[in-house]
Structure 1
Amino acid sequence: MTTQHWVYYPIAILLTSVFWISGLTKILHFDVAMAEMAHFNLQPAALFVIMTILVQLLGSLLVILGGRWIWLGAGALSIFTLATIPIAHRFWEMPADQGALDLALVQEHFSLISGLILIVIVAEFYKRKNSPNYKD
């Protein structure tokens, strides 16, 4: 994409790596992904695995490519990340030692969501800066 600085792409790849690595891992180890969904009582497990893979891979692709649909990719990944908190990281129901670990994971989730929001803002900035109507 010509509207973004060259450094955008490695940052976008790194930012989304947690998602696309997870999506690819779920494809390669579908049975393990099914067991994970069943563990969290997400049924039908196959549907949840497929939807998770689609959100993780397509959302990552939209963010990495940038462009007009970056907001959709970042939004989908942000909602997905937020939704995992009450499903997989219920720190408020756990013993203190285990709960502390899951609380830290929730805080990391918030940081990741913030990064996704920020990359949309940066992409929009570069788009406007490269516009013929941009005034410094």
Structure 2
Amino acid sequence: MWFIVRCLITFLFLSSGFAKLLDVEGSFAEMRAANLNPAWFYNYASALVLLTGSYFILFNRHVWLGAAMLSAFLLLTIIFVHQFWNMSASAAKISLYFVLEHLAVIGGLISIAMLSIYRQHLPSLGQGDS
């Protein structure tokens, strides 16, 4: 079950990271639309963070670091891309939905990091400290 949880939480980030590498022109256009210049830098930096963070979680290596990387990515996306507070009513509503979704995913990432640490200490919990 632990492997399935890690696959599910990383699927979104892996697909986005690989899309940034496979559809470079589309990704560059996405970066330019968000006023992120130079587009090539933000595109490849995003892909690196998405794929590296996913690697840590998927392969159960420093899960906390992968979760922190992906959470930071989502928080920065909220601040720089989904600025619902600066948008017209209809655009703000859509952006707010993205923000709420990002916050829910951050909660999942925090949960998976906590579970990873708990799982590491699980064998020693049953032995008790005297």
Asked if these proteins are the same fold (TM beyond 0.5), I'd say: yes
**Counterpart amino acid of 1:65?**
F
Q: 1:85 to 1:121 in 2, by over 3 A?
A: same
CA displacement at 1:133 relative to structure 2? 7.0
| Residue pairs, 1:1-136, within 5 angstroms | 7-67=1-61, 69-131=62-124, 134-135=127-128
Q: Which runs of 5+ in 1 are unaligned?
A: 1-6
Q: How large is the Cα RMSD of the aligned pairs? A: 1.8
Does the CA-based 8 Å contact 1:128-1:134 persist in structure 2?
A: no
**Conserved in 2, the CA contact under 8 Å of 1:62 and 1:72?**
yes
Distance 2:24 2:81 in 1: 19
Tell me the TM-score normalised to structure 1 length: 0.87
Once the two structures are aligned, what percentage of the paired residues are identical? 34
| 1:84 counterpart letter in structure 2 | T
Point out where structure 2 has 5 or more consecutive residues left out of the alignment: none
Q: Work out which structure has the larger RCO, using CA pairs closer than 8 Å and 6 or more positions apart in sequence.
A: 1
Q: How many residues align?
A: 129
TM-score by length of 2: 0.91
